[in-house]
Amino acid sequence: MSEFRTEVDSMGEVLVPAHAYYSAQTQRAVENFPISGWPLPVPLIRAMGRVKLACATANNALGKLTGTGKNPLTVEQVRAMCEACQDVIDGKMDNQFPVDVFQTGSGTSSNMNINEVISNRAIEILGGDRLSKVKPIHPNDHVNMGQSTNDTFPTAIHVATACEIHHRLIPQLQRLHASFAEKAKAWDKIIKIGRTHLMDATPLRLGQEFGAFARQIELSIERAKVAAKAVYELPVGGTAVGSGINTHPEFGRRVSEALAEQTKIPFVEAADHFEANAQRDGLVESHGQIKTIAMSLFNIANNIRWLGSGPRCGFFEVILPDRQPGSSIMPGKVNPVMCESMMQLTARVIGNDSTMTLCGASGGNFQLNIMMPVMGHAMLESIHLLSNGVSAFIEFCMDGLEANPQACEASVEQSLSMVTSLNPYIGYEKAAKLTKEAFASGKTIRELCIEQNILDPQELTKALDPFSMTEPQG
């Protein structure tokens, strides 16, 4: 058998790989966009399958597929088309979507890709010849009925985004929050020195420091929920420019309801289809929340990296798990590789936010944004990186992270900021003078206070109690 077959579209003949489920329009896009080698993200492909299934369900309920219009389908053909959509959703057709991310800005090439795949797969399910030039289940007339790329492709991006946030990102953040909360509780009695401006500050407890990390992740979970909510409105039903030409007035609502039922996520029809077709503000807002989560994770990983520095010439207040040799020249050196991995992937996410912002601001001209494929790619890449990165950070860093109480407590007494608790007793000016004297002499604040009889011993012990400095004193 030949390596290729000849397919025909409105522009003429084109050679398509012999066994491919896609047809001419997909192949033209493959040839036109040999750019990155990045196909659409798998979650987006499967979300497109969900959208097509919801559209078929709505059109069937409205009597459009089996009605009296041009080339009506039989009940069996509708069933086969829905089964083909389900094959896409289930990942059985993942290798049939070769179009590069950097394609036509509306995503038309990818929309026709899935229309062709579903059409040919449905014909095959019915026992027909999917390679035939005659298409009893037509990619445009049936699979794309009542739709335009301009409303269904952004709908698929919204669906993929919300699903990935709910099913992947939020569960991983919840795991990370539990890990930090557990460490905060376990390490609540370990006193250490605080640091502001990278300089010694007043004491706090290691549990309080990790409790702050836990709170950052708790807030990140809330931000992830906001990120999902920002894409609940779906453009489907607006067709080409938002007017809904060539579709039923109930179509958008029915498709949105079907998608909500499929995913158990509260998707709704867009309040204004002209806005929903033309602008991707919801996606930009959503990624802004994702960017903030990335920023928090970068900050936490960097703090843990610093806290684990050493083991002899750094802080070494926490002991990071040994994951791999850290140097090709220094034997025995071990580095904070999981922290560094997290910092790099979050940097990528923060960079993706610039892409999202530019695409949202300048791509939405008049009735259509023409930067959608790269927006979908950037959004889903960010969620993928954060989800996988958090999972690896928990398993390979947090699960084995240990406190080093000796290192934490060793520096507390040496800190010049211990003098802060003496302010109510001797005043700021005298305390500052005492600090300078302690630094110059190499003595601790406590030693100088005893030498100079600043306070009676009992009062001094109370004033310089490190644990009491970690909480408000009335």
261 Rama sector, left if φ>0, alpha if ψ -120 to 50, beta otherwise: alpha
Q: pTM to 2 decimals?
A: 0.96
User: Among residues 327, 362, 441, 468, which one is catalytic?
Assistant: 327
| 3-class SS of residue 318 | strand
How many Cβ atoms are within 10 Å of 10's Cβ, its own excluded? 6
Across the chain, which has 474 residues, the per-10-residue mean pLDDT values are: 86 94 97 98 98 98 88 96 98 98 98 98 95 90 97 98 98 98 98 96 97 98 98 98 97 98 98 97 98 98 98 96 91 94 98 98 90 98 98 98 96 94 95 96 96 95 95 85
User: Among residues 2, 10, 197, 328, which one is catalytic?
Assistant: 197
Domains of the chain listed by start with CATH number? 4-145 (1.10.275.10), 151-230+280-407 (1.20.200.10), 413-470 (1.10.40.30)
pLDDT at res. 1: 55
pLDDT at res. 473: 83
- 287 as an active site residue: the answer is no
Q: Please, which residues have CB within 8 angstroms of residue 37's CB and are 6 or more apart in sequence?
A: 100
DSSP, residue by residue, 209-224: HHHHHHHHHHHHHHHH
| 3-class SS of residue 11 | coil
Question: CA–CA separation, 364 vs 281, rounded Å?
Answer: 9
Q: Please, which residues have CB within 8 angstroms of residue 230's CB and are 6 or more apart in sequence?
A: 282, 283, 285, 286, 289
Question: CA–CA separation, 21 vs 120, rounded Å?
Answer: 6
| 3-class SS of residue 202 | strand
- 166 as an active site residue: the answer is no
Question: CA–CA separation, 137 vs 135, rounded Å?
Answer: 5
Amino acid letter for position 246? N
